[in-house]
Amino acid sequence: MTDPHLCADIHQDAVDALASQLTGSLFTPGDPGYTAEAVAFNLRSQHRPLLIVAAADHADVRAAVRFAAAHGLPVGVMATGHQPFPLADRFVLITTRGMGAVEIDAARRTARVEAGAVWGDVVEAARTAGLAPLNGSSPGVGVVGYVLGGGLSPVLGRKYGWAADHVSAIDVVTADGQLRHLTEDSEPELFRSMRGGRSNFGVVTSMEIGLFPVTSFYGGGIFYTAEHTAAVLHAYRDVVGRAPDELTCSVALLNFPPVPEVPEMLRGRFTVHVRIAFLGEAEEAEKLIAPFRTVAPALIDTTGEQPYSAFAAVHQDPTDPAPYEEQGTLLATLPGAAVDTVVARTGPHSGSPVTVLEIRHLGGALGESHVGASVVAAREARFTVWGATVGPPEVTGAGTEVMEALMAELRPWATGRTYQNFASRETTADDIFAPEELERLRRIKKLYDPANLFRVNNHNIAPAMDPVTADAER
């Protein structure tokens, strides 16, 4: 350990003992490799943990959690670090990049994924069995964090539902340092709470997720120039208003800076990007998306029949780390007035610095529930509105102000909740869960993590208070 004064209240022998237990590596500030291990995809979320345990297996995770609990230190966990969370500097960070195994069970249509697996690896492994997971829009996003936050697939979600509803088993290290195997029959309340409850209840070392018999889709993207913004958004309302569950569409207003990382045709200009994914024949797809063909001339059109492995071509998400802030809300409906509000606040003549403003259609299987379903708190919503601003603090700050104003103006059509995976770092658990559900989650939290050990990189669910304590605080 090269910077021992940071651990002045932790005996050196304890740190050395932890290091000796690990198959993976331990880093402290100043150690070679510390900065590289701590870096997140979102460069605005750079933490300074007291210790980093680069876990190689579940035993490393158990050792790290036990060390943190013994010294009263909170625990954070990171695979890729895409989502912004409150910044922290005095905690134990467990990174799971070294735990990336993926195993496919074709007969059961499941995949067992370790904590560091990313979607690109799972999609490729499942492809060989003629199957597909409920993955996100980017191949570089971590599977576990995405699923624990609900898991909204932009290709399969409306047909098959939330990824969190299709988890059959979770291996998790809880605050007592125990490795627990959770299923619907084994500690069902904790199993349900974790699916949608993020990392509030423990550190997941692996999970078993469902796969589906999908090998291809019809889709891609259509780009339009700025002057067609309002017309395209209203055409989008028309298309999704009659869309079958097999069709998923989103539309994004793109305000890219003139930087080399952006394709030349989109660089330094405002464009509108319609994202399309249809599970069916090309002829039927073309009928459904016909309004996008007639509303305005396309700047770029990449739609066509695609192998499922080409899922990333739908959203074309950036692959390089960047500093950004994001915010989102859920809408129960999307009337014309809401579209006009979006255009006024973030359209080409608004002066908005927001880099991406997306409206995504929900509904279909995403609105269904059943006994034992996950705690995803977005089932009643029919749309998400999400925005991200990329750049230095002064730019992201200005973008945050625009997004806050937009969220306020969209409130008449909002559900009052926020989808956890599209939330800002300031979002709280009260913004995500309904009061009754949150109270139930707080009771589960008290049972498994009464000291609130797992509070660093999530929208924290605090343990329920004892009645006496609650009365005193009132």
Q: What is the mean pLDDT of residues 323-344?
A: 96
Sheet holding 92-95, edge to edge: 25-27, 51-54, 92-95, 75-78
pLDDT value at 473 more than 60: no
b/e per residue, 124-159, with b = 16+ CB within 10 A?
A: ebbbebebbbbbbbbbbbbbbbbbbbbbbbbbbbbb
pLDDT value at 5 more than 60: no
Give backbone dihedrals phi and psi of 329, rounded to 5 degrees, phi first: -150, 165
| Residues above pLDDT 70, as percent of the chain | 96
Query: Among 50-59, 171-180, 420-429, which stretch is predicted with the lowest mean pLDDT?
Result: 420-429
Report the C-alpha gap between 80 and 119 in whole angstroms.
11
- Average confidence score pLDDT of the chain: 93
pLDDT band at 372 (very low <50, low <70, confident <90, very high): confident
Number of H helices, E strands in the chain: 16, 18
pLDDT value at 388 more than 60: yes
Can you give the pLDDT at residue 8? Answer: 53
Q: What is the mean pLDDT of residues 11-32?
A: 92
Residue with tokens 């090998």: 215
**Cβ–Cβ < 8 Å for 254, 209:** no
pLDDT value at 122 more than 50: yes
pLDDT band at 84 (very low <50, low <70, confident <90, very high): low
pLDDT band at 2 (very low <50, low <70, confident <90, very high): very low
Report the C-alpha gap between 373 and 289 in whole angstroms.
32
Can you give the pLDDT at residue 457? Answer: 77
| Residues above pLDDT 90, as percent of the chain | 82
Q: What is the mean pLDDT of residues 218-236?
A: 97
Report the C-alpha gap between 379 and 270 in whole angstroms.
32
Can you give the pLDDT at residue 297? Answer: 97
**Cβ–Cβ < 8 Å for 200, 77:** no
Report the C-alpha gap between 79 and 474 in whole angstroms.
39
Can you give the pLDDT at residue 4? Answer: 42
The candidate with the shortest Cα–Cα distance to 425, out of 452, 388, 473, is: 388
Can you give the pLDDT at residue 87? Answer: 65
Can you give the pLDDT at residue 9? Answer: 65
Can you give the pLDDT at residue 425? Answer: 86
Domains of the chain: 4-95 (3.30.43.10), 102-212 (3.30.465.10), 216-426 (3.40.462.20), 430-473 (no CATH)
Can you give the pLDDT at residue 260? Answer: 74
Can you give the pLDDT at residue 465? Answer: 83
Q: What is the mean pLDDT of residues 46-70?
A: 95
pLDDT band at 264 (very low <50, low <70, confident <90, very high): confident
Can you give the pLDDT at residue 140? Answer: 95
Q: Extract the tokens encoding 244.
A: 């079958």
The candidate with the shortest Cα–Cα distance to 155, out of 238, 283, 250, 295, is: 250
pLDDT, tens digit (0-9, with 9 covering 90-100), for 247-261: 999 999 999 888 777
pLDDT band at 435 (very low <50, low <70, confident <90, very high): very high
b/e per residue, 20-41, with b = 16+ CB within 10 A?
A: eebebbbbbbebeebeebbbbb
Q: Tell me the whole-structure pTM to 2 decimals.
A: 0.93
